[in-house]
Every structure is written in structure tokens, then in C-alpha cells.
Amino acid sequence: MKKLDLCLLTALMALWGFNFSVIKLGVNNIDPLVLTAMRFTFAVFPLIFFIKKPDVKWRYLISYGLTFGIGVWGLTTLAIDAGTSSGMASLLLDMSVVSGLLIGYFFLNEKLTFNKLFGATLALIGLFIIMQEQGGSVTVKGLILVLAASLFWSINGLIVKRANTKSIFAFNIWAMLFAPLPLLLLAVVSHGHEVITNLHLDINSSAIFSALFQAYPTTLLGYWFWNKMIVKYELSSVAPMTLLVPVFAILGGYWFYQEAIVLSQILAAFFILIGLFISQLAVSLNPALFQKAAKKAALEKIGNK
């Protein structure tokens, strides 16, 4: 990978990581679901008028828009509003490695390799450590919400696979069209119509900045550059870069909100991130394969003699 692309990818991971702190800035001022609706409204309009609809069925666009808008980011924003620290929310979203394993196996006929199973086991150990955390960085409600969001993240991947489109940017824009209204409806059902009627009283520069930051650099610019790098390089070279997102998210929470970083969080992050890294390794770590290779090498050595 070129040094410039590596530096830009690292900057993108920092952007995505710090985005969790920006989400927290927004939910400290307005309803979290309204904030998420604003994010996708800004991301879609007016850009959608200049982007041709991708050649995919409407059901893929609608289902992706709902699962991405409400399932991933609506629930993640609610989790942060429920008391989960921005750093832990980012880290727990990476639990999609476990749900993605199951969805890939049952719906896409993907093989359960040793690396994937071992990596998922390590990630689950990290999750168990977080569940024992008593420091206030993760609430029960927030934990449930963000784990559900990680499941929807995996479902997003399934929808993209089924849609089988090469126009990823257009697909994202048109799919996000179906996120704002359901988010606003859910906000009204959950918190009453006041979240809409009183929006002009609650909204301020911090909320607007949060929504705009999430919409443009994080969503539009970020996903455009990410997809470009996936096309340019092998996925196995690009995908591990996402391991940096929780690192920057935890640092952002510490810098901007003085969120405590305790030993149990560091230990949990270690297990989850190492698990994610191992699950994406191209070289198998299966001990049986190592033994088989060693026996084969020994036999060849004896044969040469």
C-alpha cells in the first residue's frame, strides 16, 4: 500500500473514531433519534437530485436504509444517550465479527474457518469482561442497544451482498433516503411529539455541527474514500485498518469528555481487537495445519536424503 494512502486511511479511522464523540455532543443537546434523522437528511439532500438511482430492486434500498439508519446508527446513538461511553460504543460495534460469522454461515454459505472461530471467541471474552465492568462506561440498556446495532451492521453486509451492485456510493445515498422519516416517527412514538414541535427551541450550534459532521465528512466523504481503497487494494490489506477506529474513539472520549480508561476496558479492548485481527488473517493459525505442514516438510527432507 502506498504511504499516502496508508496515511489517508489512518486519518479516516481517526475521523470515524472521533465521530463517536461528535455523536455524544449532539445527544447532549437534542433527542438522539432526531439527531440521527438530521444526519441522514443532510447526507441525502440535495445530493440525491444529482445521483442516478442504482440498478437494484427497491427492497434492497429500503431494507438497507432502515437497518443502517435505525438499526445501526439510531440504536448506537440511543446507546450513547443511555450512558454508554463513546469509546465503548465504538468498541462494542465491532462485535459484529460474531454476528457476521453466523450470518455468513447461514445465509451466504461462508466457511467457519479456525481463524474466524478463534477470533470470535476472543471477542466474546472481551464482551464478557465489559459486562463485568462497574465503572459506569457501559450501562445495561446501552449494552443491549449497541449489541443490537452490531447485529444490524452484519445484516447491512448481507443486504449489500444480495443487492450485488457496483454503484456503492449511489446505493448508500438512495438507501439513506428511507432513514429520516422512520427515525422521526420512532422519536415521536418513544418521546412524544414535543421532540419535533420543540425542535426549534432545543436545537443549537452544537447539535447542527454534530449532524453536519456525521453527514458529510463521516458518511459521504468517509464511505466514498473507504470504498475507493477497497477497490484499489486487497480487502485483507484494507479491512484491518478498522481496528484503529475504537482506539481513536476511546482516546476521543478521554480527551473531550474525560471518560475514564480503566484496566478492564483496556483488557476487553485487547481481546476484541486481537480477535478481529485474527479473524481477518489470510494465513490460518489452525495448529492441526501447522502439524500437517511440519510432517510434510519432515517427510520431504527424509526423501531428499
- Which structural domain, as residue segments, surrounds residue 263? 3-304
3-state helix/strand/coil string of the chain: CCHHHHHHHHHHHHHHHHHHHHHHHHHCCCCHHHHHHHHHHHHHCCHHHHCCCCCCCHHHHHHHHHHHHHHHHHHHHHHHHCCCCHHHHHHHHCCHHHHHHHHHHHHCCCCCCHHHHHHHHHHHHHHHHHHCCCCCCCCHHHHHHHHHHHHHHHHHHHHHHHHCCCCHHHHHHHHHCCCHHHHHHHHHHHHCCHHHHCHHHHCCHHHHHHHHHHHHHHHHHHHHHHHHHHHHCCHHHHHHHHHHHHHHHHHHHHHHHCCCCCHHHHHHHHHHHHHHHHHCCCCCCCHHHHHHHHHHHHHHHHHHC
Confidence of residue 292 (pLDDT cuts 50, 70, 90): low
Q: What is the pLDDT of residue 67?
A: 94
Top-confidence range, 85-94, 171-180, 232-241: 171-180
Global pTM value: 0.81
Amino acid letter, 55: D
Q: What is the pLDDT of residue 99?
A: 80
| Average pLDDT estimate for 175-188 | 94
Q: What is the mean pLDDT of the chain?
A: 84
The tens digit of pLDDT for each residue in 228-252 reads 787 677 655 666 677 788 888 888 8
Query: Pick from 90, 145, 92: which is nearest to 123 by CA?
Result: 92
**pLDDT higher than threshold 70 for residue 113:** yes
The tens digit of pLDDT for each residue in 35-83 reads 999 999 999 999 999 999 999 999 999 999 999 999 999 999 999 998 8
> Which range (22-31, 83-92, 127-136, 186-195) has the least confidence?
127-136
Q: What is the pLDDT of residue 104?
A: 79
More reliable by pLDDT, 251 or 134 = 251
Top-confidence range, 4-8, 212-216, 241-245: 212-216
In a 13 Å sphere around the CA of 48, the CA atoms on its Cβ side amount to: 15
Q: What is the pLDDT of residue 302?
A: 62
Q: What is the pLDDT of residue 299?
A: 59
Q: What is the pLDDT of residue 244?
A: 80
More reliable by pLDDT, 152 or 250 = 152
**pLDDT higher than threshold 70 for residue 298:** no
The tally of domains found in the chain comes to 1
**pLDDT higher than threshold 70 for residue 295:** no
| Average pLDDT estimate for 198-207 | 90
Q: What is the pLDDT of residue 152?
A: 93
**pLDDT higher than threshold 80 for residue 136:** no
Confidence of residue 202 (pLDDT cuts 50, 70, 90): confident
> Which range (74-78, 118-122, 140-144) has the least confidence?
118-122
